Structure 1
Amino acid sequence: MNIRKILYPNTILIAFVAVVAAACTGGNSSPRQAGAPATVTTIGVALKEVEGVDTYPARVVPVNQVELRPQLSGYITKIFVKDGAEVKKGQNLYEIDRTKYVASFQQAKANVSTAEANLARVEQDLKRYEALQAKDAIAGQKVDYAKADYETAKAQVAAAKAQLSSTSNDLQYSIIKAPFSGTIGIHNVRIGTQVSPGQPLLNTLSSDDPVAVDFVINEKEIPRFNRLKKEEQPDSLFSLLFSDGTKYPYSGKVIAIDRAVGVQTGTLTIRLSFPNPERDLIPGMTMNLEVLNQDHGKQITIPYKAVVEQMGEYFVYTVQDGTAHQVRIQLGTIVGEGIVVRSGLKGGETLVVDGLQKLREGVPVQTAATSK
């Protein structure tokens, strides 16, 4: 009998048992025994005074803006204001050569006078013929002709007055005026430039005070801004920051919410109004808009490093009776190196801030230090 063949299977079994035993005991290493407390650093959860803000990129736009274009043909004969000047509503800006428009207007006035005089004569003739007809002293056909002449004369007066109105409008359009108060840009034409209806663009006029500020939000924020528009808005709710970080001294208010969410972007435009008495806000400027959120006043604020993310949810570990407990939280505004906790903590808990990699629910812990 071959003894080696009989003993070989038993040798394998003994070796397997030895490997399992080594794995269970950790081999030659000397780890902390099962159930030994994990060493962590903790901090007490407390309320802190914060001013939570959400920041959005925003652009300054004028409340009113209009492109100034000619409505007549001719040459620019006068420019009444300088480049970039502030103008008042109704102020003269440009003049197009008025010579032919003045002449047309005077001719139209004369035509109205002639037509009215003819109407007066025809009306007198009609009255005289009607008086004779009452005495049966004139043929009826003569009266009918007089009535036709009277109606024709009335139509001629109406046509002459319409022509007068048209030439009067042309004469007015030869002087281009500011439709509202604001600031005009740099002129695109000079004296002597030939223009025609609609061409070229003479200039652009935009209002200065107040100005609008546009920014976009995502769909989830729409209910919040709908409420803000309907409710009384505190003065400090909306504030602007210039590109150099300085804060604009005036606050804004919601004046409009766009009619629809963008199909491609899933965003909605919000428009605010800001006073602009010093003309510091210029249309087209890009600024940062800060909006106060619900994290305002005394809020629970914890170090951001104490937060653990798992599958899109956020957790922290608290210590109670020497044991770690996992708590799901809802995060708010980042404040420096900390973050506001909107739900999950009430204040007064002992929070683990270091040693998180050693923890899971129910693990015994030992506090090495307490952060301040």
Structure 2
Amino acid sequence: MKNRYTYCIAAMALLIITSCGNKDKKQDAAPPATPVNVVEAKKSDALYYDKYQGTVTALNSVELRSQVAGFITGIFFKEGDVVTKGTPLYEIDRRKYVAAYEQAKANLLSARANLSKAQKDIDRYNMLLKNDAVARQTVDQATAAFETSRSQVAVAQAGVTSAATDLSYATIRAPFTGRIGISQVKLGAQVSPGTTLLNTISSGNPIGVDVVINEQDINRFYKLQKASTDTTFLLQTADGTTYNKPGKVFAIDRGVNDQTGTIRVRIQFPNSKDELKDGMSCVLQVLNDDSGDRVQIPYKAVTEQMGEFFVFVSQDTTAQQRKVKLGPRIQSNVVIMEGIKPGEKVITEGFQRLRDGGKITLGPPAGAGSPDAKGGAAAPAK
């Protein structure tokens, strides 16, 4: 009986020793290295732009209104066409203004005849005065009559000028070369001076784009006004098309709006093909000052944690987690403003199972082609 107990105790001790030995082996065994893919961070040319909502606006736009009253008797243009400076556009009934002009010219002729007679009278009386053949009072009266006649000539001349001006206003001409809109009046319509809108004409080439910027950007645009390149300003129309003509700063408004802290800037673009229309909405892209030779890595290597961005960098056989400051995305890459140096090896696949300081080995990670193996994060704010 005693021997049986001895055997049982020996068997249990052997089992315990074996179990402890296996446990020690498991604790001593290091976790396997994670297979990853890496890409070298490289510097390359990075052009990126700040975006501003804009509105296309004509550099010159005028509402056409009559300066004399009457009825429309002629319309000499096709709506929507480009008209050259001085081209007749509308005609208002001219008959009354022609008559007034002719009457003014007749009044001028009469005044000049009276002046001629007064001149002859004063010459005659002055000759007689030398021989004491006429009273001094008569000479003075002739002199006064001459001055009156001369003033009447001036009045008549002004009347001719006024009548000629009214007659010229009866024909409304294009003030500059531009595109004319749809007529607001028809033949036979009665117009009143200064109140009746006839049409609107606006220049189209070149054309402007108005944007509103914060006052902090004023100095930046003043510098761009003095010096800019063909890539400084890009324009994107409402349908997503990029306008392929270079722009330049045309004007910066006189002051800042004290309510909003903003100021208006106008950018000028060539528009020979009339692709840009007055009033169109668009997006103005302005070359960022940080553009240039920048470090870029694949965007899929970036992860986001609590609003901060990180990448894993290969340090021989160890993965080091690195906090980075992102710039804009450029196709499948992203610009790294801070945190990564050129030549460093950035882990692009397999980092989902990594921790800072984790062991790695180069090779295709498990499930590298699956959606779970792809990195990436939300686009950073500028």
TM-score for both structures, normalised by structure 1: 0.79
Question: Could you say what secondary structure the match of 1:222 adopts?
Answer: helix
The answer for the alignment partner of 1:175 in structure 2 is 171
Take 2:186 and 2:48, find their aligned partners in 1: how far apart are those partners? 52
CA distance in structure 1 between the aligned counterparts of 2:34 and 2:185, rounded to whole angstroms: 78
- Partner residue, 2:371: none
Report deviation, 1:357. Answer: 10
Give the 3 Å change call, closer, same or farther, for CA 136–316 of structure 1 in structure 2.
Answer: farther
CA-to-aligned-CA distance 1:43-67 (integer Å, 9 cap, x gap): 5322234332223222211111100
- Residue 267 (structure 1) aligned with residue 253 (structure 2): no
Q: Distance in 1 between matches of 2:160 and 2:78?
A: 34
- Matched residues, number: 334
Cα distance in 1 for partners of 2:222, 2:351 equals 44
Amino acid in the other structure paired with 2:168 = Q
Q: Does 267-276 or 111-120 show the bigger shift?
A: 267-276
The answer to whether the 8 A contact 2:206-2:269 is kept is yes
Aligned counterpart for 1:365 among listed residues 355, 358, 365: 358
- Which residue of the partner structure matches residue 77 of structure 1? 73
Partners in 1 of 2:339 and 2:293 — Cα distance? 16
Which residue, 273, 277, 280 being the options, matches 1:282? 277
Question: Is the aligned partner of 1:339 residue 2:325?
Answer: no
Question: Does 2:187 align with 1:194?
Answer: no
* Contact 1:77–1:97 (Cα < 8 Å) also in 2: yes
Provide the C-alpha distance between the structure 2 equivalents of 1:357 and 1:157, rounded to a whole number of angstroms. Answer: 104
Any idea what SS the aligned residue of 1:202 has? strand
Give the match's secondary structure for 2:230. coil
Matched, 1:94 2:87: no
CA distance in 1, matches of 2:221, 2:298: 29
After alignment, is 125-134 or 200-209 more displaced? 125-134
Q: Deviations over 1:271-304 (max 9, x none)?
A: 1111111111111111222233245454212345
For 1:1-372, what aligned pairs fall within 5 Å after superposition?
43-231=39-227, 233-304=228-299, 306=302, 318=313, 322=318, 324=320, 326=322, 329=325, 331-351=326-346, 364-367=357-360
Distance 1:270 1:310, change over 3 A: farther
C-alpha distance 116-197 of structure 1, shift in aligned 2 (>3 A): same
User: How much has 1:364 moved relative to structure 2?
Assistant: 2.9
Q: Which runs of 5+ in 1 are unaligned?
A: 1-31
Q: Please list the CA deviations of residues 149-175 of structure 1 after superposition, one character each: whole Å capped at 9, or x if unmatched.
A: 111111111111111111111000000
TM-score (norm. length: structure 2): 0.77
SS in 1 for 2:47: strand
Q: Secondary structure at the match of 1:332?
A: strand
Distance 1:135 1:369, change over 3 A: farther
Task: Determine if contact 2:324/2:337 at 8 Å carries over to the other structure.
Answer: no
Deviations 1:86-117 (Å, cap 9, x if unpaired)? 11100000000111110000000000010011
Partner of 2:13: none
* Equivalent-residue separation in structure 1 for 2:352 and 2:261 (angstroms): 38
Residue by residue over 1:304-334, the C-alpha shift from the partner in whole angstroms, topping out at 9 and shown as x without a partner, is: 56265778x86766565747465564x4322
1:183, 1:205 within 8 Å by CA — same for their partners in 2? yes
Give ranges in structure 2 of 5+ residues lacking alignment: 1-26, 369-382
Matched AA of 2:190: Q
Distance 1:219 1:345, change over 3 A: farther
Q: Distance in 2 between matches of 1:84 and 1:171?
A: 27
RMSD across aligned positions (CA): 3.1
Aligned-partner SS, 2:359: strand
- Change in Cα spacing, 1:357 to 1:288, as seen in structure 2 (3 Å) is farther
Q: What amino acid maps onto 1:248 in structure 2? A: Y
1:366 maps to amino acid: K
Distance 2:289 2:339 in 1: 16
